[in-house]
Copies of this chain bind each other. A is one copy, B any other.
Amino acid sequence: MPSSEFVCVDWGTSSLRLWKMSSANEVLAKRRSKEGMSTLARDQFDAVLERHLSAMSVGSDVPVVICGMAGAAQGWQEVPYFDLPARLAEIAAAAVTVNANDRDVRILPGLAQRPPASPDVIRGEETMLLGAELLGKAEGLFCLPGTHSKWIAVSEGSVSSFSTVMTGEVFALLSQHSTLSHFLKAVSVDYANSEAFKSGVEDALEKPEAMLSALFSIRSTPLLLGTGKAAEMPSRLSGLLIGSEVASMKDRAAGSVQLIANGSLAVAYTKALGIAGIQTTLLNAEELVLAGLSYAADAIWS
């Protein structure tokens, strides 16, 4: 344990979460905000952090450990990627100290997968995986769904490969900007019971190579089968895209996946993976990232 209080921060693209921790690793206070990396200029990170710390009555001598996009080229200070294969326990040692700052602030590196493997990067998810290892769950394939879903393979405490899938972003693009958008007005979807979601997943699993043509069914189905079908199209599109994502990862899953998600994403991916014959274990993202950050704090300051 660090000898004093410390603060853990998960600073992502669109959100910021902070936990004030005791030297005995208990959560003393926590906060969250929408001040993600994408909303901030480089010289604003320090002031945003200090404002949240002040609100949690954190003294100026308390150190802070950060994971996520704060370490990106467009973030607070660029932290070089840690290359694969990456031993999770060694990530903390590659943390970078923020320059010219009164407080001791460290940013953890993301991971890079370089050629000849398919070029890919993550920032933040590696800290959840570190947490998962500490909690005894870090073997096999992990799925972290979202705007950019991440699928991460972990073996014997090391990340061996990963893949970013643009599922959530493509759903948003098609809903907001495409010729399909007329048929994709916002609705809430009961993923667990929606027939349209289920058949979208099944169609994608059956013909995963035909995604660009399956998309057009969002338009042609209501045209040919009546406008009543339009209400089902957001569910169908979600099924097609998540089904395509699952189809591309199925061989790597070998029958089971640890799913780091909550809310409707957890329901949707559990359902889609189940249709593909893949068992899921649901893990809690907040618990994992906090375990990983706390471990890093201990490695850096104790």
Nearest to A147 among chain B residues (CB) is B179
A217 contacts chain B at the CB level, 8 A cutoff? yes
A248 contacts chain B at the CB level, 8 A cutoff? yes
Bound CA–CA A164/B169 (angstroms)? 22
Chain B residues with CB under 8 A of A173:
173-174, 177-178
From the candidates B119, B163, B212, name the one contacting A165 in the complex (CB within 8 A). Answer: B212
Say yes or no: A165-B224 contact (C-beta < 8 A), given A177-B177, A207-B248, A208-B208: no
Q: Chain copies in the assembly?
A: 2
Q: Check if A163 sits within 8 Å of B213, measured CB to CB.
A: yes
Say yes or no: A178-B169 contact (C-beta < 8 A), given A216-B120, A220-B119, A221-B119: yes
Q: Check if B121 sits within 8 Å of A244, measured CB to CB.
A: no
Bound CA–CA A178/B178 (angstroms)? 12
Chain B residues with CB under 8 A of A215:
166, 170
Bound CA–CA A118/B207 (angstroms)? 12
Bound CA–CA A189/B167 (angstroms)? 27
**Chain A contact residue count (CB 8 A cutoff):** 44
A112 contacts chain B at the CB level, 8 A cutoff? yes
Chain B residues with CB under 8 A of A244:
209, 211-212
What would 24 A/B residue contacts be, using CB atoms closer than 8 Å? Answer: A81-B224, A115-B224, A115-B225, A118-B217, A119-B221, A119-B223, A119-B224, A119-B225, A120-B216, A120-B217, A121-B223, A148-B179, A148-B216, A164-B213, A164-B220, A165-B212, A166-B213, A169-B179, A170-B212, A170-B215, A209-B247, A211-B244, A212-B244, A213-B248
Q: Which A residues have a C-beta under 8 Å from some C-beta of B? A: 73, 81, 112, 114-115, 118-121, 148, 163-167, 169-170, 173-174, 176-179, 207-217, 220-221, 223-225, 241, 244-245, 247-248
